[in-house]
Structure 1
């Protein structure tokens, strides 16, 4: 049974078989409650063994249990006001089993021995019910148990320990700084997430993980009342897998390009970026509208990251390739026949994409995925050639492999885990090459920063992307700001036009904090690393006013 059928059939069964206690959304809690340590790993192990032993006694040949506590704190402000602060906690248990060769899943928020035992019984009952229409048994790649282990996002400052007032004061300073520098409107936000995830399986794994992510962001808007026009600029921050140290400005590693926009790596000055954004939003009101045509495109990581996400990350998800996502989000042009040919030219020979969940500070970084598989790095595109996909324990046999890639994920204890995008990143050039060098090598081009509007077809092939900031390049120099820019291409043509990539010194992260997939829908967070990269002869259209 494929995952899509499993979710559909389990959903039908759940409506009749599951008890009311099996669903619990995040509930509002006081901010202080977010610092409650919760159960210790020894207590979780006792509960996990109840689930595993019950499932086995009812006929399961495999079982795993996830005890999850999900904490979230979100801030929303506008100009001089705090519009909302959200503190929420979600806590419960999800149990997945194989019985009679078929998956079954059940979840409960009754985190007691009795509640967990009942939940395990339901999971096995659902698997056996589904087995009546199963045509092929689940093929699960072997995974040796890792015993009792733990992993934690390496953080210096737990964001939840920072007083609410300090966070509000930061956002008010961001807003005031933007307003004082020409913005007419400004909204700013902080998103903090802590996932306390405990995984145990009948393979012999007992894994405790403590995962932290955050995202500071804003939008500033400048207006021209006389012309009746407005322009906005979003934050150039990256969502990141770090603690509050990302925002303290103490380890800021930043640089400017020939006097133009400042960019950040692993520390972010939100106030400084807001000041710059207000000035640039005003500059955009006066910017020259781009003449449509062919240009060499220099794409900053804050822009290219989204293009990687949509044109590389999503089309190389094996479940999408197999059609499991067709009803919601489409399929993929990168079909198995192209991979089997061993010569499908996904990009130019300098293009190398890797998938991983291990890179420090990335949002998908964990020690083990939600199937208990140790995370690793593997090649997706090597020297321009498509060489692999993203797959989980019950998928890799399709690729002739015997070990999972370690990219299974569930966004909550009451969600069934399935294949989710790991970090997908473009390797930097091994040769020394800077942004300044790249600009000097361009005769007619556009330098683009920031994430803008995007559109891509259902096969992740034909696309159009925009940005936040556009700078015209003539004869090796930036000569001014442009506006109304969007670039169009298809995935294969675009990546084959990749002509130069900067080196490791320019490697930076982009990410998406709320990446949706699946039915029922789930959200995950993922990062994409890359240096500034040049693409030659890309089609640019004018999206706005006449020239």
Structure 2
């Protein structure tokens, strides 16, 4: 098989193909440009120009978002750096309510006159929109916070680390996998810095400096005799941290079927393990379809949480206001109003939050200037709440927003986006090994794989990276061609055991799409290893 043919067949679009799908907002800047922030006093001055101009034109409410967004992506294959993208975007977005309706306008011309004209345009748009209005916007009350700030608590600013050093780390990852027997390997590092300033006519002036990092690789082994191949992707999660995430600590090590880290990531060790495991995947036996008890590692379970819990509890999907990227939601208001909808087993508790340190969704304030918080979505298996913004809160009788507003840039209007949504650990002392001991016929699954889910976030299918057969409480060997099928309610009701907090880890999505025009956000999902009984498993290699 020729290299080009292989890459096309494997669908490994983590090079230029992936870069084309990433929202690279802004213009290219020099790689050696030093990291800096805009003076806060200057941002307040410009925000006041917008606030005053909007009020003078008839706005009854105004919020202003001044944003400077930095992206750096380094993409490698084997012994070469294939691509480096370094972008910057700086501008202002102005959102207003006039005559009871929303209006929005944005500009990257950061002088006083241009900002005043943009504010006036936003008001004009609101007044035109009001001609078609059937019900005026209802904003949940929100006090002004005055001048406040929040920063991601990083130890090492990844943008200060020389590009050469970061590229050399990725190439050493590739080298470790190749020396372990891999045929092909690619690695990437994605960095984001959002410098966001929010001001509102209610008296908030909020300055935030937000950092995110995602190291990733994929390793492929080809059987020269048969031409067959297997792939193993990295098991490290994207995080809301600085470069210290890639400086592993022994105290964070979790030993199991594969060695992982809780709050740091040893990407070199993961690459070495992946080379051994991808060789094992080539020799693994194909799974026999049927019902199995599944033991799902957090590196796999986070994606199922994201798709079957995170998205269907978004209130705009519930109301039918949003249907892009896999539809609306089966969790309709009547189920919530009943107060007794059986979402999952009694041990299932799923919490929404934007507070957890190190998570992708952690910020001090959302893009409507609401201080972030934590709340229950599923409590003891029952549906108890949704995710809301200020103009949605009244729909479910809340007198406050839950802080779920986000925009991917200053030039896009903010709307409802998912907070971190996490499965809470079990309360009794229980390790993954303890869970496995009680399984007679099952499969342990680690890593995210392909998935599909229907237009109401109900019926689904998920794969993974690593699959191990469990027989009579023991891991007996590796399997392949595994995917599990269920529906959301059936799946979460089959949850019979959850490991304790010592096993709790974060997974997450660095580029989660929603809306039209599409916007991308980042969100984490935490979990401990969990057991699900009697789940249907199919063989993905067999033709139906």
TM-score normalised by structure 1 residue count: 0.94
Aligned residue number for residue 408 of structure 1: 405
Show structure 1 runs of 5+ residues with no match: 1-23
Q: In the alignment, is residue 297 of structure 1 matched against residue 294 of structure 2?
A: yes
Match of 1:266, SS?
A: coil
Structure 1's 467 and 328: CA in aligned 2 closer, same or farther, altered over 3 A? closer
Aligned residue number for residue 3 of structure 2: none
Aligned residue number for residue 13 of structure 1: none
Match of 2:50, SS?
A: helix
User: Cα deviation per residue 1:290-327 (whole Å; 9 max; x = unaligned)?
Assistant: 11111100000000000000000000000011111225
- Tell me, in whole angstroms, the C-alpha distance in 2 between the residues paired with 1:31 and 1:204: 38
Report 1:230-241 matches (<5 A). 230-241=229-240
Give yes or no for contact 1:422–1:526 (8 Å, CA) kept in 2.
yes
Q: CA deviation at 1:227?
A: 1.6
Q: CA deviation at 1:25?
A: 4.1
Aligned residue number for residue 182 of structure 1: 181
Show structure 2 runs of 5+ residues with no match: 1-23
Q: CA deviation at 1:329?
A: 3.3
Structure 1's 65 and 381: CA in aligned 2 closer, same or farther, altered over 3 A? same
- Tell me, in whole angstroms, the C-alpha distance in 1 between the residues paired with 2:239 and 2:105: 31
Aligned residue number for residue 30 of structure 1: 30
Match of 1:139, SS?
A: coil
Match of 1:406, SS?
A: coil
- Tell me, in whole angstroms, the C-alpha distance in 2 between the residues paired with 1:234 and 1:75: 17
Match of 1:275, SS?
A: helix
User: Cα deviation per residue 1:442-495 (whole Å; 9 max; x = unaligned)?
Assistant: 111100000001000010000000000000111111011011100000000000
The Cα RMSD (Å) is 1.1
Report 1:116-515 matches (<5 A). 116-250=115-249, 253-257=252-256, 260-326=257-323, 328-515=325-512
When structure 1 is superposed on structure 2, of 380-389 and 27-36 the one drifting more is 27-36
When structure 1 is superposed on structure 2, of 500-509 and 24-33 the one drifting more is 24-33
Match of 1:332, SS?
A: coil
- Tell me, in whole angstroms, the C-alpha distance in 2 between the residues paired with 1:252 and 1:85: 33
- Tell me, in whole angstroms, the C-alpha distance in 1 between the residues paired with 2:219 and 2:402: 41
User: Cα deviation per residue 1:236-255 (whole Å; 9 max; x = unaligned)?
Assistant: 00100000001022466122
- Tell me, in whole angstroms, the C-alpha distance in 2 between the residues paired with 1:382 and 1:354: 8
- Tell me, in whole angstroms, the C-alpha distance in 1 between the residues paired with 2:156 and 2:204: 29
Give yes or no for contact 1:346–1:384 (8 Å, CA) kept in 2.
yes
Give yes or no for contact 2:324–2:514 (8 Å, CA) kept in 1.
no
Give yes or no for contact 1:141–1:396 (8 Å, CA) kept in 2.
yes
- Tell me, in whole angstroms, the C-alpha distance in 2 between the residues paired with 1:545 and 1:30: 50
Match of 1:174, SS?
A: helix
Match of 1:35, SS?
A: coil
Q: CA deviation at 1:225?
A: 1.4
- Tell me, in whole angstroms, the C-alpha distance in 2 between the residues paired with 1:25 and 1:505: 39
Aligned residue number for residue 112 of structure 1: 111
- Tell me, in whole angstroms, the C-alpha distance in 1 between the residues paired with 2:142 and 2:542: 58
User: Cα deviation per residue 1:390-439 (whole Å; 9 max; x = unaligned)?
Assistant: 00000010001110000100000000000000000011011111011001
- Tell me, in whole angstroms, the C-alpha distance in 1 between the residues paired with 2:32 and 2:316: 40
- Tell me, in whole angstroms, the C-alpha distance in 1 between the residues paired with 2:496 and 2:175: 42
Q: CA deviation at 1:36?
A: 3.0
Give yes or no for contact 2:25–2:409 (8 Å, CA) kept in 1.
no
Aligned residue number for residue 4 of structure 1: none
When structure 1 is superposed on structure 2, of 244-253 and 482-491 the one drifting more is 244-253
Give yes or no for contact 2:404–2:417 (8 Å, CA) kept in 1.
yes
Give yes or no for contact 1:320–1:332 (8 Å, CA) kept in 2.
yes
- Tell me, in whole angstroms, the C-alpha distance in 2 between the residues paired with 1:239 and 1:408: 21
Give yes or no for contact 2:325–2:513 (8 Å, CA) kept in 1.
no
Match of 1:237, SS?
A: coil
- Tell me, in whole angstroms, the C-alpha distance in 1 between the residues paired with 2:66 and 2:228: 52
Aligned residue number for residue 39 of structure 2: 40
Match of 2:52, SS?
A: helix
Structure 1's 232 and 252: CA in aligned 2 closer, same or farther, altered over 3 A? farther
- Tell me, in whole angstroms, the C-alpha distance in 2 between the residues paired with 1:222 and 1:308: 30
Q: In the alignment, is residue 50 of structure 1 matched against residue 49 of structure 2?
A: yes
Q: CA deviation at 1:544?
A: 1.4
Give yes or no for contact 1:329–1:517 (8 Å, CA) kept in 2.
no
Give yes or no for contact 1:301–1:510 (8 Å, CA) kept in 2.
yes
Task: Tell me the number of residue pairs that the alignment of Structure 1 and Structure 2 aligns.
Answer: 520
User: Cα deviation per residue 1:495-543 (whole Å; 9 max; x = unaligned)?
Assistant: 0000000000000000000000011110000000010000000000011
- Tell me, in whole angstroms, the C-alpha distance in 1 between the residues paired with 2:516 and 2:62: 23
User: Cα deviation per residue 1:84-111 (whole Å; 9 max; x = unaligned)?
Assistant: 0110001100000000000000000011
**Deviating 4+ runs (over 4 angstroms):** none
- Tell me, in whole angstroms, the C-alpha distance in 2 between the residues paired with 1:328 and 1:483: 29
Match of 2:359, SS?
A: coil
Q: CA deviation at 1:262?
A: 1.1
Match of 1:446, SS?
A: strand
Q: CA deviation at 1:33?
A: 2.6
Match of 2:159, SS?
A: helix
